Structure 1
Amino acid sequence: MNDHYLKKLDRVTAILTQLQSKPIVRAQDLAEKFDVSIRTIYRDVKTLENAGIPIVGEAGNGYSLMDGYKLPPIMFTKEEVLSFITAEKLMQKFSHQSLGNHYQAAMEKVRSVLKYSDKNLIKNIEKQIDVFSFHTDSGDSLKNVIPIILESIAEKSQLNIKYQTVDGRVNNRTIETVGMFFEFNFWYIMAFCMLRKDFRQFRIDRILEISKTPNPFVQEYGQVNDYRKKSNGNKVKAKLLVDKKIMNHLVNSKKYYGLIEEVETENGVELTFETEWINDGFPRWLITFADYATVLEPESLRTRLKELLLKMTERHQ
Structure 2
Amino acid sequence: MNFTNSLVSLTLLSASLAQANLIAYWPFDDLSGEVAEDIIGGYNGILNGGTWLEPGKVGAGALEGAGGNEVLCPAEAISTTEDLTLAWWMIDNQSSWGTIMDKSFTDSTSGFDILVRPTGTEDSPLRFRIGGWQAYGGWGTECRLPAGAYEDGEWVHIVCVYDSATDTASIYVNGKLPENGTLNPKTGIAGEGGYCEGVNNTTAPLYLRGGKETFTGILDDVAMWDRALSPEEIATVFTSGPLAVERPAKELAITSFDLSEITDEFTLTWNSNIGELYAVKYSTDLINWDADLDDGILADEGDTTSRTFKLTDLDNPKSLYFRIEKQEE
| TM-score normalised by L of structure 2 | 0.28
| Greater gyration radius | 1
Relative contact order higher in (CA < 8 Å, ≥ 6 apart): 2
Which structure: greater helix fraction? 1
| TM-score normalised by L of structure 1 | 0.29
